Amino acid sequence: MKKAFRIKKNKEFQMVFKGGNSVANRQFVLYYFPKEQKVPFRIGLSVSKKVGKAVIRNRIKRYIRQTFTDLKEDIKPGFDFVVIARKPTAEMDFHETKKSLVHVLKKAKVLNKNSSEC
């Protein structure tokens, strides 16, 4: 995933938190904020130190970014996402992470109806 499609600034994170909606399951909290123009989606990641050491946190972030890259065609454009990982993600492999993220994205109704991955 290109860096242009990531949320990095605190101001942008706060805009998504305050103006957006959220859905959650046991592993992830997803904040999503619709934008006016239909530009490609952007994601911001938050993995707390409570989840694990740096190696584990970085692995979780890689899994999340790869999942969004795989689902790029299925996610509706014009959204900013902030994904917060909870403690159970530390023991999950890539396929479990992807399944859990797809579940949260479906709950948020940001996946296209004809998505093949889901």
Give residue-wise pLDDT tens across range 20-58.
Answer: 999 999 999 999 999 888 788 999 999 999 999 999 999
Q: What is the pLDDT of residue 115?
A: 54
Helix ranges (DSSP H) in the chain: 10-19, 54-70, 94-108
Domain map (residue ranges) of the chain: 7-108
Residue 83 has pLDDT above 90, yes or no: yes
pTM of the model: 0.90
Q: What is the pLDDT of residue 40?
A: 87
CA 19, 23, 29, 33 torsion: positive or negative? negative
Class of domain 7-108: alpha beta
